[in-house]
Amino acid sequence: MRHRKSGRKFNRSSSHRIAMFRNMARALLTYEAIRTTEAKAKDLRSVVDKLITLALRDDLHARRDAYKVLNNHQMVQKLFTDIGPRYAGGKG
């Protein structure tokens, strides 16, 4: 039984799922809008929320943690200079 199990498997291995969400997060931060299924979007939301929270901290360790997910220096730069400051006033 899968009672109280969080997250979806999407009929993929764990490495495939992680790669899929990394690619989707990169695409979302690049184009700021992507087209995907509702279930994938709901799971992607937690990945991107964590990245935006890192961007609000804006220190070296946060940048390195964001690079672990995005694996692209230009995307990390855009996240911390353009996207992160937009959410500075919000709570959460």
Dihedral of alpha carbons 39, 65, 50, 80, sign: negative
Asked whether residue 73 carries a pLDDT value surpassing 90, the answer given is yes
* Alpha helices (H) in the chain, listed in sequence order: 14-31, 38-57, 60-70, 73-78
Mean of pLDDT values over 39-51: 96
What CATH superfamily is the domain 14-87?
Ribosomal protein L17 (3.90.1030.10)
Domains of the chain, by residue range, sit at 14-87
Asked whether residue 90 carries a pLDDT value surpassing 80, the answer given is no
Instruction: Using alpha carbons, select from 15, 13, 77, 6 the residue that is nearest to residue 45.
Output: 6
pTM for this one? 0.91
